[in-house]
Structure 1
């Protein structure tokens, strides 16, 4: 029979792994939104400059 402490440690490791994966997915999602926002702002700035030069 397994020791309850080792079962808890194994469970905690699994929880930590799941949390790390969830954190990574969240970080990627935030990065994608940041890049998309920067692209939109950049395109707006380029469009504004082109309109001002007419």
Structure 2
């Protein structure tokens, strides 16, 4: 195998690793927003239910 092929394979591995890291960070960011919005919606529903029951 030529050194050019070896270098291309190494470069492709590094690109794949970087893309995997970038995708993982993006997934964490999306999950964090989803959890935050769910908690916010839960607090709002709880507040409405609490006010309705204590009127």
**TM-score normalised over the length of structure 1:** 0.94
SS in structure 1 of the partner of residue 12 of structure 2: helix
Where does residue 12 of structure 2 map in the other structure? 12
Deviating runs (4+, > 4 A) in structure 1?
none
Aligned length: 53
Where structure 1 has 5 or more consecutive residues not aligned to the other structure, the ranges are none
Where does residue 24 of structure 2 map in the other structure? 24
**TM-score normalised over the length of structure 2:** 0.92
Separation in structure 1 between the aligned mates of residue 49 and residue 3 of structure 2, nearest angstrom: 69
